[in-house]
Structure 1
Amino acid sequence: MHGAHKEVALSVHGTAPGGMADVVWRLRSRGCWQEAADLLRPQAGRDPTAALQRAELLIEQCLFTADHWERAEDALRLAEASVAGNEHRAAASCARGYLAYVASVLGRRDRLDEAQAALGRTSALLPPKAPGRPLLDFRRGLVAENLLHDPAAAHSAYTRAHEGARERGDDLLRSSTWCHLAGLALAAGDQERARQGFGTALKLREQLGFTVGVAPALAALAEVSEPAEAERLRAEASRLVQALGGVPVWLARRLGRLPEQSPAPDGGTVHDPRHGIS
């Protein structure tokens, strides 16, 4: 996933309530998820919104590091236990589906059924024009693309998410929908559309200051650039990954910053999503 940090469920696009919002956003954007989550801890025990935001931060940490799974599970269980009303219930279910997706695609274990069931519950809880619909559609697109290998279904879900994010002014989510729609275009042989999408995603992330998400966008744009420009983009992505301590791990491996087959925390293998998984 960014001036769209106002949603109940953070995931690819939110931060914290009140005056702490900017601090949490700055920490998150630099890959300091644990520090941001620690700031939310006092509120999380009494505020369902803060509990959900804290869980989403720690799920994003899993996404970028392929580690810290128990922290995310514990935070999500706390959020699920504190839900108040359908809006929070839907957001918690959406986070549950996303955690199951991330665990599946990064090779920890297959949780496809759990991801689909949780996202299905989310859909049943959300009215058609609910604020959480674009994020839900995006996550359903991720499952369709990376777990079900159904590009048509992924394209449909990403398109709905893209339009919903545009209507809501959620530029962080739009950066992700641009990137994934571009990846599908590239797979279909449409280099020009892919170049436009990857370029727009990069521009949005740079404008919004989502530093930890810039390197994947640079690497994606390199795939559809001329050789000299591609080399420059990959070098820039590599420097950024190194500056951020080797995250995201799946990109660090592609750029030669980690062994080609990095062991996952449970002894499995971290998969290599070509255009990122967020």
Structure 2
Amino acid sequence: MHTRFVLIHTSHAGNVGATARAMKTMGFTDLVLVAPRWANVLRREETIQRASGALDVLNNARIVETLDEALDGITHLCATAMIGRDFGPPTSTPREHLPALAANAESTGEKGVAFLFGSERFGMRNEDVYRCHVALTIPTDAKFGSLNLGAAVQVIAYEWRQALGGFGDATPVAARESQRADARQLNGMLEHWERALVDIGFLDPAAPKKLMPRLQQLFHRAQPTEEEIHILRGIAKAMMAPSPAKPAPADGESKL
């Protein structure tokens, strides 16, 4: 389902840039501004700075004069309002509403969803809220519920991305490539460490006590990767290497 973020009568250029950044981090690109305060808001320095690299979102954004123009091709409208409206749509949190919307989109024939955000000072007008299917409210501390526009967009964008299934395996490539060491590799490393500990005099083979079993349990809990096993064996090898001879003191230096 196509996703669009719509900012209505935005007055601060920085919030447009922050919105673009919030959208891009969650993989959304369709931004429409309805009658913003600044006609050149997409090119203003503050907007570009706050976008922090999300210039493709700004470059593709559209400015229109009316909300009707912003909703072309959209079938499901989500208002964002901290306070519900009498005679308005049902109020729901993003986490309550969005998963069902994503799951049922195919069966209900939804073609696109738009998230509507009002002006920074006044929020959304009643008439704009009334035309929406739901009013999304972000749960906040009852004593301080004021959210910056960019922050509100980030929360909604995150919840919608999660409802759509997220980004799949978000594990960094480096972490995915690090395979956990198997039992044979772990045992070989422990045997290497046992020899090294004997070599440096830390382990008495005549009275080993429970040192090696305890180390074994420690490494079981740590679940080292293959790369970490190589590092640990490298340490053991260095422990067993003969110490380099100390240089003879120069003339006049103390031999103590």
TM-score range relative to shorter protein: under 0.3
**Which of the pair is proportionally richer in strand?**
2
**Which of the pair is proportionally richer in helix?**
1
TM-score after normalising by structure 2: 0.21
TM-score after normalising by structure 1: 0.20
Structure of higher CA gyration radius: 2
